Amino acid sequence: MEALFLAPPPWEDWSLFGQQVVSGFATGAMYALFALALVLIYRSTDIINFAQSEVAMFGTFAMWSLYLAGLEAWQLIILGVLLGFALGAVVERVVVRPVEGRPHLSIVVVTLGLFLLFNSVATWIWARGELPKHFPSPFSFEGVNLGFTSIPQHHLGLLLVGAGVMVLLVLLFNRTKVGLAMRATAQNPLAAQLMGISVGRMLTLGWALSAALGGLAGVFIAPITFLHPGYMLPVFLYASAAAVLGGLTSPPGAVVGGFVIGIGENLLGTYTPAKWLGPEMKLPLILLVLILILLVRPTGLFGERAVRRV
């Protein structure tokens, strides 16, 4: 008779459970870092940017060219962030500014056009020869022993960076004037303008910062998944689920969402009956969990409920 469960239940094999949790934690960190970029753009412009993943991919490919030219991994990270910042600002100024103030759907469709544009241009420039390409990491991929399992140093670095970015974002939005101005711009551009906020500059800044953060995520994720023109799209889909799960307005929510999705996916894939669900169904299962959570909390776990006067 075929066993209903492939894996022994956790109380019989805690080390397997631990391995699954740790590896989910590591993938969750990728989603969390990119979800932070989505939270940043949502908070500062009130849209979801579908081109985010492709701008990050484009920047990472540019960094890959510099890597071939002989730059060090840590230099690539700094340059990747700077390039992302510049790309985001240019994209906002040239392409998004003409549709500023229009219904959000128009802007979202423009970002979908940008998605195609960046993906296609990156494929044209870089996708020659052997794919996927190797991308360097400033950390090694040697495992850090945790007793029951090990976690690569690179993933630990990713976790630390993600945590640092989260703290910075919370401080930015809640403790600085610029952050307040960005939130005001997203909520009500007209009123923000009347309060003396330069709406256009705030939107540019929001796009630039989130593209910089996306670039950071891009160069940290590329060593794990390897580099090819589609490598950020799955990350984007997971990260958008993570950001929505945590509440699109909350940086800690994005991180929690990333971990819930990363760990939950692994556990659901391991500990559900293989005949009916099992590993192939882990993605639909975790998305089902996402939808169920949204039904209980329609603005995510930590999202602010938008209160608007009528």
Partner 1 sequence: MQMEIWPFLALLAGLAAIAYLLPIVPMRWRRALAIVVVLALLCWAPFVLDNFRTFQMSRVAIMAVAVLGLNLLTGYNGQVSLGHGAFMILGMYTMAILMDSKEQLNFIDARPWPFWAALIVATGISALAGLGIGIPSLRLSGPYLAIATLAVMISITPVLKKFGGLTGGVQGLRFPTPPPPEFLKGLIDRPDWLYFLSLITAVILIFLAWNLLRSPLGRALIAVRDSEIAAAAMGIPVARSKVIAFTLSAAYAGAAGGVLALLLGSVTPESITIADSINLLVGVVIGGLASILGSVLGALAVVFIPSDAAKIVASLPGLGGGIVERAPGAIQGALVIIVMILMPLGVAGVLHRMAGLDVRRLPEVVARLPSRMLKGAQLAAGRFRWVWDIRPWAQRRPFNPDDY
Contact predicate 289/264, CB 8 Å: yes
Per CB under 8 A, the list member of 105, 129, 130, 175 interacting with partner 1 is 105
Q: Which of 4, 112, 168, 171 is close enough to bind partner 1 by CB under 8 A?
A: 112
The backbone torsions φ and ψ at residue 298, rounded to the nearest 5 degrees and listed phi first, read: -60, -20
Position 248 contacts partner 1 (CB under 8 A): yes
The nearer residue to partner 1, 140 or 198, going by C-beta atoms, is 198
What's the Rg (C-alpha) of the chain? Answer: 20
Strand partners, 151: 144
Residue 228 CB neighbour total at 10 angstroms? 18
Closer of 158 and 241 to partner 1 (Cβ): 241
Torsions phi, psi for 139 (to 5 deg) = -100, 165
Rounded to a whole number of angstroms, the minimum distance from the CB of residue 98 to partner 1 is 4
Question: CB of residue 255 vs partner 1: minimum separation in angstroms?
Answer: 17
Amino acid at position 121, single letter? V
280-305 burial: b if 16+ Cβ within 10 Å, else e: ebbbebbbebbeebbeeeebbbbbee
- Total of residues contacting partner 1 (CB under 8 A): 59
Residues in 34-93 at the binding interface with partner 1, rule: CB under 8 A: 42, 47-48, 50, 93
Q: Does residue 120 touch partner 1 according to CB under 8 A?
A: yes
Among 23, 75, 123, 225, binds partner 1 (CB under 8 A): 123
Q: Where do contacts with partner 1 occur on this chain (CB under 8 A)?
A: 42, 47-48, 50, 93-95, 97-106, 108-110, 112-121, 123-124, 189-190, 193-194, 198-201, 237, 240-241, 244, 248, 280-281, 283-284, 287-288, 290-291, 294-295, 298-300, 310
